[in-house]
């Protein structure tokens, strides 16, 4: 866990770490990774990963439209919107 790695994962997570906090974060993350490294002591070669304790198969839905028009409600809770769209600073592709 070095500065470069922290910079990369910060970017992936869209988080900025202040310079003065950077060293602590690097230390914290290193410690946590070291702590979880104990998992490697266990042999799991034939074991199936468990993603969810239920493991039963998913219920699905029928193909019908049930949603109502929530336009006004949704745009109202937006940090920035006009009557029709959510707004963000101009994205250049």
Minimum distance, C-beta of residue 41 to other proteins, in the bound complex (Å): 8
Asked if 15 is part of the footprint of other proteins (rule: CB under 8 A), the reply reads: yes
Q: Is 66 in the site for other proteins (CB under 8 A)?
A: yes
How many whole angstroms separate alpha carbon 42 and alpha carbon 33?
Answer: 16
Degrees to nearest 5, angle at CA 88 with 18 and 92: 90
Considering only residues 4, 19, 20, 57, which one is a binding residue for other proteins as defined by CB under 8 A?
57
Smallest separation, CB 80 to other proteins (Å): 7
Does residue 2 bind other proteins (CB under 8 A)? no
Residue 30 touches other proteins, criterion: CB under 8 A? no
For residue 33, the minimal CB distance to other proteins (Å) is 7
Q: How far is CA 82 from the centre of its chain?
A: 28
With 0-12 / 13-18 / 19 or more C-beta atoms within 10 angstroms meaning exposed / middle / buried, residue 75 is: middle
Q: Is 55 left (phi over 0), alpha (psi -120 to 50) or beta?
A: left
Kindly state whether residue 19 participates in binding other proteins, applying the rule CB under 8 A.
no
């Amino acid at each position: 866990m070095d500065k470069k790695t922290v910079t990369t994962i910060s970017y992936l997570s869209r988080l900025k770490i202040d310079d003065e906090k950077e060293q602590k974060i690097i230390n914290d993350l290193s410690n946590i990774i070291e702590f979880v490294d104990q998992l490697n002591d266990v042999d799991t070669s034939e074991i199936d990963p468990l993603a969810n304790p239920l493991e039963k198969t998913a219920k699905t839905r029928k193909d019908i439209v049930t949603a109502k028009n929530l336009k006004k409600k949704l745009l109202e809770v937006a940090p920035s919107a006009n009557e029709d769209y959510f707004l963000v600073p101009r994205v250049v592709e």
